[in-house]
Chains A and B, each alone.
Chain A
Amino acid sequence: MNRWSIARLVAAKDLRIERRSKVLTNQVIPFAGVTMVIFAFALDAKSARTDDGFVPLLELVAPGLVWLAALFSLLLLVQRAFAIEADDGALDALRVAGVDPVAIFWGKSAALAVQLAVLDMVLLGAAVLLYGADVPAGGLVLLVVTLVVATCGLACVGTLYGGLTAGFSGRETLLPLLVLPVVAPVLIGATRAVESALGTGGVALSEGWPWIGLLTVFAIAFGVGGALAFGPLIDEAT
């Protein structure tokens, strides 16, 4: 079995588990939704002065809130992704069976990315509805590209540090401490890119594309770095 087919196998397994257990749809997406509503309470219905006159504050910060909610949900999804491995010793079994750790990393990252992408789409949709943001036609391409690249980066970081903390029951609290500082670039880049895509506060569409560069470098760095580091991190016996 080569690396790619094992990775596909692991990804398919994780997605099949999600389809049968529905943790994403029944728990994580509602959590993200309530987070968005709570943000609205915290920020109130105030307006802010911009070059275009007064704009509701929520509309201005909506892109950032989407990604903030996505980050918090990422932590839940990562914990879930490794709880299914640790619950009945499946991670140990994968190690004993000598399943290629690089393939496990890519497979789990891919499954996480798919789930995260679904979540992000729901959140963006919710932002448009709840906070009254508009999507200009030209921004749609930028929006989709941002979503894909940012999601890949987040999934890789999440899988990497999820694997590190999975072996230590009771140390799940370490995950946010490790993940959040690392994903700060994604929060910044994806927020700006979405701002340009939506034209929030008069940001031009062309200003969004440079951020895609940052997000891409991030995704590649942690895609490669994660693949190299994941094996030694989950496998402590060698």
Chain B
Amino acid sequence: MTTTTPAPATTPTRTRGTGTTATRLLGIATVVMLGWLVAFGLGFSPADRDQDEAVRIMYVHVPTVWVAYVALGVTALCSALYLFTKKHSLGFDRFAGASAEIAVVFMALTLVSGMLWGKITWGVYWAWDARLTSFALLFISTIGYLAVRSLGGSHQQRAKRSAIVGLLVVLEIPLVHWSVRLWNSLHQEPSVLDTDGDVSIEGLMLFSLFVGVIAFTLLYVWLLLHRTRSMAMADLLDDVGLDQALADRRAEGASS
């Protein structure tokens, strides 16, 4: 690994990585914060009055929800920036794609941690609660978005197509959420949702949650930068391949 910043002008080589001094520092900060999260989440913070030890799942669950929504927001924003700026920069497209990939991972973590928490606190893995159900649908839609990204074509085709689908996913969020809420209001099972209401959060617990959010946000940024750079290198490799293929193709014409 060298410390040079990836520049489009240079050719990718075997030795070049996606790390820079900045991302390395960010990585160290992420590890430190994750260590803090383990210490506070599992050690220093007390068990909750209602939820008992299960509250510790929240220190992971809440930050993953947060990162999932932030990541989707970044995908939507970058899709819009790609479509509505004159330059149609592929950089925005790569940010959108990388962010969506991270979003899917964090959404899966959210669902898993939420189900574990639900099993302990509510006694069931899955309740047909509005937030849960619309989140699950959003998860599937994000997977669909990634499937559209892999359809093929040139970089610009991929970027345009996926930016449109990305914005359609965003358009669908409020509709799905609204309908599922209305649907859910008919099937409310209050006993299950009781603990969701006013959990008193204070002191060390709030701080642990805060540490969790910071740690996972740093992790997100770190992953995003590396993934975007690796995508840029993959695209660059395609372009270099194109120049080579173009030269070969021209030679084919000249030789005959």
Q: Which A residues are closer than 8 A to B by beta carbons? A: 160, 164, 168, 171, 174, 177-178, 180-182, 184-185, 188-189, 192, 210-211, 214, 217-218, 221, 225, 229, 232-233, 236
Interface presence of B140 (CB below 8 A): yes
The docked-state distance in angstroms from the alpha carbon of A174 to that of B160 is 18
Instruction: Tell me which residues from 98 to 155 in chain B have a Cβ below 8 Å from any Cβ of chain A.
Output: 137-138, 140-141, 143-144, 147-148, 151-153
Q: Which residue of chain B has its CB nearest to the CB of A178?
A: B144
Alpha-carbon separation in the docked complex, A168 to B149 (Å): 13
Complex Cα spacing A31 to B256, Å = 57
Q: Decide: B176 and A184 in contact? CB cutoff 8 A.
A: yes
Interface centre among B137, B147, B160, B168 (most CB of A within 10 A): B168
Further 17 A-B residue pairs, CB within 8 A, beyond A181-B140, A185-B175, A221-B175? A174-B151, A180-B140, A184-B137, A184-B179, A188-B180, A188-B183, A192-B182, A211-B182, A214-B179, A217-B175, A221-B171, A225-B168, A229-B168, A232-B160, A232-B164, A233-B164, A236-B153
Q: Is B178 an interface residue (CB 8 A)?
A: yes
Listed by A's residue number, 7 A-B pairs whose Cβ atoms lie within 8 Å are: A168-B152, A174-B148, A180-B140, A181-B140, A182-B141, A184-B180, A211-B182
Of A174, A181, A211, A214, the most chain B CB neighbours within 10 A belong to: A181
Residues of B within 8 A of A229 (CB): 164, 167-168
B161 and A177 form a contact (CB under 8 A):
no
CB distance from A168 to the nearest CB of B (A): 6
Q: In this complex, what residue of B is CB-closest to A238? A: B160
Which residues of chain A have C-beta atoms less than 8 A from B251's C-beta? none
Chain A residues contacting B152 (CB-CB under 8 Å) are 168
Complex contacts, A185 vs chain B, CB 8 Å: 175-176, 178-180
Which residues of the partner chain A approach B165 to less than 8 Å between Cβ atoms? 164, 178
1/0 contact string of B187-199 vs chain A (CB within 8 Å): 0000000000000
Partner of A236, one of B160, B178, B182: B160
Interface on chain B toward A: helix, strand, loop, or mixed SS? helix
CB neighbours (8 Å) of A174 from chain B are 144, 147-148, 151
B186 at the interface (CB under 8 A from A): yes
Residues in B lying within 8 Å of A, measured CB to CB: 137-138, 140-141, 143-144, 147-148, 151-153, 157, 160-161, 164-165, 167-168, 171-172, 175-176, 178-180, 182-183, 186
Q: When chains A and B are docked, how far (Å) is the Cα of A184 from the Cα of B183?
A: 11
* Separation of A180 and B148 alpha carbons in the complex (Å): 15
Within the complex, what minimum Cβ distance (angstroms) separates B139 from chain A? 9
Query: Which residues of the partner chain A approach B140 to less than 8 Å between Cβ atoms?
Result: 177, 180-181
Bound complex: CA A214 to CA B147 (Å): 28
Cα–Cα distance between A182 and B178 once the two chains are bound (Å): 13
Residues of chain A within 8 A (CB-CB) of B144 are 174, 177-178, 181
CA distance A236 to B180 in the complex (A): 35
- By a CB distance below 8 angstroms, the chain A residues around B148 are 164, 174, 178
In the bound complex, residues from chain B placing their C-beta under 8 Å from that of A177 are 140, 143-144, 147
How far, in Å, is B144 (CB) from chain A's closest CB? 5
Min CB distance, B10 to chain A, in Å? Answer: 30
A180 contacts across to B, CB distance below 8 A: 140
The CA of A214 and the CA of B152, in the complex, are separated in Å by 36
Q: Could you say which of B140, B143, B152, B164 has the most chain A C-beta atoms within 10 Å of its C-beta?
A: B164
A171–B149 CA distance with the chains assembled, in angstroms: 13
List, in ascending order, chain A residues with CB within 8 A of B167's CB: 229
Residues of B within 8 A of A217 (CB): 175
Q: How far is the CA of A225 from the CA of B152 in the complex (A)?
A: 24
Shortest distance from the beta carbon of A48 to any chain B beta carbon, whole Å: 14
Nearest A-chain residue to B172, judged by Cβ: A182
Q: Which residue of B lies closest to A228 (CB)?
A: B164
Q: Is there an interface contact between A236 and B172, defined as CB atoms closer than 8 Å?
A: no
Nearest A-chain residue to B161, judged by Cβ: A233
Q: Which residue of B has the minimal Cβ distance to A218?
A: B175
Task: Return the chain B residue nearest A226 by Cβ.
Answer: B168
Query: Which residues on A sit within 8 Å (CB–CB) of B161?
Result: 164, 232-233, 236
> How far is the CB of B255 from the nearest CB of chain A, in Å?
31
